[in-house]
């Protein structure tokens, strides 16, 4: 695959101090060619940020979250509006992209971790609300919940909720379906409920 870019305009036209390697990664990620974009996305998350995300995985989450889940969440966070977040990186003081992203990632996951702690107490009542949609005859309620699930940015979270709460699959069954561990299913479900809570609280706008 020919993934070389002319980075000179990117480097100097925007008065940035970004080196050619990082400029190539950013331009590659933003490429309109899906194959090129995927190549550089994988390079960023599975090579450049491997050590960083592994540290976050075990120091912050004590290994309870799989690496791919961290990648998925950070990917959603960074890729909004065609990766506009990367436009804030200017290479000041010759800082590499991975160094700049380490601050971004730590801030993002620390905020997520704190939010998780605050919202855990609300999880039970929200689960009851979701489960009630299975037995209530009020079609509007069920449709409302389905709309919220469709709005969840992490589709895997929505899938786990639907499999467990709508179709009654056990954590063991879901682990087989998703080819993951049972403990990871419970972790995904917990995080899925938190994401659902955040969106469900705005359901009047749905």
If asked whether residues 105 and 127 sit together in one domain, one would say no
Question: Do 186 and 128 belong together in one domain?
Answer: yes
**Domain end marker among 87, 118, 149:** 118
Note whether 198 and 141 are same-domain residues.
Answer: yes
Domain boundary among 77, 101, 118: 118
Assessment of whether the complete model's pTM goes beyond 0.75: no
* Residue after which a domain boundary falls, among 86, 118, 150: 118
Q: Are residues 17 and 112 in the same domain?
A: yes
Give me the long-range contacts of 75-82 (CB less than 8 A, separation at least 24): 75/41, 75/45, 76/153, 76/154, 77/108, 78/104, 82/30
Domain count, the chain: 2
Distances (CA, A) of 119 to 9, 86, 110, 192, 193: 46, 29, 14, 12, 9
Indicate if 21 and 99 belong to the same structural domain.
yes
Same domain, 102 and 131: no
Q: Is residue 71 in a domain?
A: yes
38 falls within a domain: yes
Q: Report the pLDDT value the prediction gives residue 132, as an integer from 0 to 100.
A: 45
CATH code for position 153: 1.20.140.160
Q: Are residues 133 and 110 in the same domain?
A: no
Tell me if 3 is assigned to some domain: no
**Mean pLDDT per 10-residue interval, the chain, length 206 residues:** 56 64 93 93 94 85 86 91 89 84 87 69 52 45 71 86 76 83 85 80 55
Range of the domain at 20: 8-118
The CA distance from 84 to 89, in Å, is 10
DSSP 8-state class, residue 84: G
């Amino acid at each position: 695959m020919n993934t070389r870019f002319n980075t000179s305009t990117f480097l100097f036209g925007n008065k940035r101090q970004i080196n050619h390697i990082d400029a190539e990664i950013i331009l590659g990620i933003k490429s309109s060619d899906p194959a090129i974009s995927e190549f550089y996305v994988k390079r960023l998350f599975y090579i450049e940020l491997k050590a960083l995300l592994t540290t976050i995985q075990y120091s912050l989450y004590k290994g309870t979250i799989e690496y791919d889940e961290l990648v998925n969440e950070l990917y959603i966070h960074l890729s909004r509006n065609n990766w506009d977040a990367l436009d804030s990186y200017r290479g000041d003081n010759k800082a590499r992209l991975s160094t700049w992203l380490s601050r971004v990632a730590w801030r993002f996951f620390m905020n997520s971790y704190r939010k998780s702690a605050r919202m855990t107490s609300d999880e039970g009542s929200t689960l009851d609300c979701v489960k009630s949609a299975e037995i209530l005859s009020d079609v509007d309620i069920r449709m409302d919940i389905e709309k919220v699930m469709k709005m969840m940015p992490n589709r895997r979270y929505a899938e786990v909720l639907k499999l467990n709460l709508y179709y009654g699959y056990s954590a063991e069954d879901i682990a087989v379906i998703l080819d993951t561990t049972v403990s990871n299913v419970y972790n995904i479900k917990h995080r899925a409920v938190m994401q659902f809570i955040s969106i469900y609280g705005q359901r009047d706008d749905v």
